[in-house]
Chain A
Amino acid sequence: MAVGLPENIFITKLDAAANWARSNSLWPMPFATACCGIELMATAASRHDLARFGAEVMRFSPRQCDLLIVAGRVVMKMLPVLQRIWLQMPEPKWCISMGACACSGGVFDTYAVVQGVDRFIPVDMYVPGCPPRPEQLLAAVIEMQAKVRRTGTVMGREFAIRDTPVGPTPFDMDERYRIQDANLVQLGGFSAAATGTALKGPANHG
Chain B
Amino acid sequence: MPLTPVDTLETESAEREYVWTLNFGPQHPATHTTLRLVLTLDGEKVLNAVPYIGYLHSGFEKLGEHLDFNQYVTIVDRMNYLSPLANEIAWHHAVEKLLGIELTPRCRYLRTILAELMRMHDHLLNLGTTALDLGGFTAFLYFFQQREHIYDIVELASGQRFHTSYTRVGGVLFDVNTDWVNRVRKFVREFPRVYEEVDRLLTKNRIFVDRTKGIGYLSREDAINFSAAGPVARASGVERDLRRDEPYLAYADLDFDVVCSKGGDCYARYLVRMQELLESLKIIEQAVENIPGGPVNIGVETDMVLPAKPAVYRSIEGLIQHFEVIMPNRGYDVPREQVYAATESPNGELGFYIVGNAETRAYRARTRPPSFIHFSMFPHLIRNHQLSDVVAVLGSINIIAAELDR
Contacts and interface: CB of A to CB of B under 8 A. Distances in A.
Interface residues of A, number: 39
B81 A84 contact: no
B interface majority secondary structure: loop
B201 to A, nearest CB: 15
B148 A107 contact: no
Interface string B28-71: 11001110000000000000000000111111001100000000
Given A46-B145, A87-B1, A110 B62 contact: yes
B401 A35 contact: no
Tier of interface size on chain B: 35 or more
30 contacts: A30-B29, A31-B27, A32-B32, A33-B33, A33-B34, A33-B55, A33-B401, A34-B78, A34-B81, A35-B81, A35-B163, A37-B32, A38-B82, A42-B144, A42-B151, A45-B141, A58-B29, A72-B56, A75-B55, A75-B56, A81-B26, A84-B3, A107-B75, A110-B58, A110-B59, A111-B62, A112-B57, A113-B58, A113-B59, A130-B163
Contacts of A133: 161
A178 interface: no
A206 B147 CA distance: 43
Contacts, number: 102
Interface string A98-111: 00000000011011
Interface string A61-82: 0000000000011010110110
Contacts of B32: 32, 37
B2 interface: yes
B153 interface: no
Nearest to A204: B2
A73 B1 contact: no
B34 A205 contact: no
Contact of B59 (A32, A111, A206): A111
Interface string A25-55: 0000011111101110110011100000000
Contacts of B141: 45-46
